[in-house]
């Protein structure tokens, strides 16, 4: 068991902002990563008018704005466009779903579960007490979000049945797709009774077993193990219905406000992925070709072999007062100069906290004040 937390969870939200070195940081939860064109336009305008001109994508498929000079106005804009449906629950709406579910691949379409889970989560006053670190995952069977270590999740094993995932592991319990939201919310309520100040289910001794007991569920199947690490879906992706999804990567997961406005102008659904990339969905072929022609020169990455997709970085200087280096500038110079310190995936960090580090096998490139230390996985 992890030692009891000495302070309450202080994850930032749209209302509870974090006072970073470069000003207030506001984080907006996007259940399932889904954005309408109108919502993306509001985010783009807010980044330009109120922030530093950038929308940062997070490893939970959310977005955040830095240096927000009027947090109250930002919250008002979010509420007006439906991005702030609950003032009491906005920090706990951490719901990851397989980004391509219902469009390409997977064994079940879980899009409706995202909406139902979010709506019922916000309707339960007790669940407003969940820590902001708690994560729900809805995996359509391909293993992409189950690999990300959610607290409470489901993993489709066929079109009608899912595995119950607890603390990032298949518990062995099987339930129907129709039961999923009921069981996930009951599991979250159980966690509130067990947590004793802890932030994650994995921090509780025998947390999986105690949760199953409270839910009156038992393991009935061999657990699915070895969820594969996934890279972002990048490039031209054909949908079975004849339309196209475009997967675009972003250097350091930063979406400039001008590019965001171009994406919004296409007037198609946008999905923010947990790999800090975006999907532009349901395009006809002609429109997809025009998007690539316009946005590739602006920095949207459609090449799955681009070195930019292997490199992530924390905020670093000047945005973080704990950082020992401007890691994004240094990492950018290394990519452009072809002098990355290690092959494969790597995360550049301004200090030993390694904030924003992706899961899986990743080389850590850590600022020490006198240079960088390279820690291989």
The answer to whether position 227 is within a domain reads no
| 110 shares a domain with 181 | yes
Is 8 a member of any domain? no
Do 243 and 190 lie in one domain? The reply is no
Task: Read off the pTM.
Answer: 0.95
For residues 195 and 287, membership in a common domain is answered with: no
Per residue in 249-302, pLDDT (tens digit) is: 999 999 999 999 999 999 999 999 999 999 999 999 999 999 999 999 999 999
Taking the C-alpha atoms of residue 8 and residue 11, their distance in angstroms, rounded to an integer, is 9
Structure tokens at 84: 């702030």
Q: How far apart are CA 139 and CA 247, in angstroms?
A: 19
Residue 219 counted as domain residue: no
Q: In this predicted structure, what is the pLDDT of residue 20?
A: 93
Say yes or no: 292 and 354 in one domain.
Answer: no
Per-residue model confidence as pLDDT tens digits over 74-88? 999 999 999 999 999
In a domain, 4, yes or no: no
Tell me: do 39 and 160 sit in the same domain. Answer: yes
Task: Please check whether residues 186 and 246 belong to one and the same domain.
Answer: no
Identify the domain containing residue 347 by its residue range.
308-375
Q: What is the structure's pLDDT at 312?
A: 95
Output the domain CATH number for residue 355. 3.30.413.10
pLDDT of residue 4: 59
Cα separation, 365 vs 372, whole angstroms: 6
From first CA to last CA, the distance across the chain in angstroms is 24
pLDDT, averaged in runs of 10, over the chain (377 residues):
62 94 96 98 98 97 97 98 97 98 97 98 98 97 94 97 97 98 98 95 97 98 82 96 98 98 98 97 98 97 96 94 96 96 95 91 94 94
Residue 10 lies in a domain: no
* Pick from 97, 40, 45, 92: nearest CA to 63: 40
My answer on whether 59 and 206 are in the same domain is: yes
State whether 56 and 177 are in the same domain.
yes
Q: Of the candidates 328, 327, 311, 340, which has an alpha carbon nearest to the alpha carbon of residue 371? A: 327
**Same domain assignment for residues 66 and 127:** yes
Please tell me the predicted confidence (pLDDT) of residue 77: 98
- 66: nearest Cα among 102, 19, 118: 19
How many domains are contained in the chain?
Answer: 3
- Alpha-carbon radius of gyration of the chain: 20
268 and 201 together in one domain: no
Pair (313, 181) in one structural domain: no
Query: Within a domain: residue 343?
Result: yes
| CB burial readout 50-73, b (16+ within 10 A) else e | bbbbbbbbbbbbbbbbbbbeebee
In a domain, 81, yes or no: yes
Q: Is residue 226 in a domain?
A: no
Tokens standing for residue 143: 């293993």
Query: Across the chain, which distance is largest between two alpha carbons, in Å?
Result: 57
Residues 313 and 198 in one domain: no
């Amino acid at each position: 068991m992890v030692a009891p937390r000495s302070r309450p969870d202080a994850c930032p939200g749209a209302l509870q902002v974090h006072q970073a070195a470069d000003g207030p940081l506001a984080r907006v939860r996007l259940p399932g990563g889904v954005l309408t064109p109108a919502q993306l336009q509001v985010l783009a305008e807010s980044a330009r008018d109120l922030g530093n001109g950038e929308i940062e994508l997070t490893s939970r498929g959310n977005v955040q704005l830095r240096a927000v000079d009027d947090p109250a106005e930002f919250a008002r804009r979010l509420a007006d466009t439906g991005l702030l449906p609950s003032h009491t629950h906005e920090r706990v709406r951490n719901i990851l779903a397989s980004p391509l579910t219902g469009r390409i691949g997977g064994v079940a379409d879980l899009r409706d579960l995202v909406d139902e889970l979010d709506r019922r989560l916000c309707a339960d006053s007790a669940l407003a007490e969940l820590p902001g670190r708690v994560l729900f995952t809805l995996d359509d069977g391909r293993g992409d979000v189950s690999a990300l270590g959610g607290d409470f999740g489901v993993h489709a094993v066929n079109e009608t049945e899912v595995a119950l995932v607890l603390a990032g592991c298949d518990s062995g319990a099987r339930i129907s797709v129709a039961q999923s939201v009921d069981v996930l919310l009951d599991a979250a309520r159980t966690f509130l009774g067990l947590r004793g100040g802890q932030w994650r289910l994995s921090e509780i001794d025998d947390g999986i077993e105690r949760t199953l007991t409270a839910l009156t569920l038992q393991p009935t199947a061999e657990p699915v193990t070895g969820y594969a690490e996934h890279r972002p879906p990048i490039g031209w992706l054909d949908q079975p219905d004849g339309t196209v999804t475009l997967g675009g990567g972003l250097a350091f997961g930063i979406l400039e406000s001008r590019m965001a406005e171009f994406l919004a102008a296409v007037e198609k659904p946008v999905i923010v992925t947990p790999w800090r990339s975006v999907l532009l969905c349901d395009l006809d072929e002609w429109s997809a070709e025009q998007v690539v022609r316009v946005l590739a020169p602006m920095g949207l990455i459609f090449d799955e072999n681009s070195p930019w997709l292997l490199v992530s970085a924390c905020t670093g200087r000047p945005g973080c007062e704990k950082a020992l280096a401007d890691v994004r500038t240094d990492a950018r110079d290394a990519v452009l100069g072809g002098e990355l310190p290690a092959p494969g995936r790597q995360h550049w960090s301004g200090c030993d906290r390694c904030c924003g580090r992706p899961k899986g096998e990743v080389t850590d490139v850590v600022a020490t004040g006198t240079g960088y230390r390279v820690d291989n996985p």
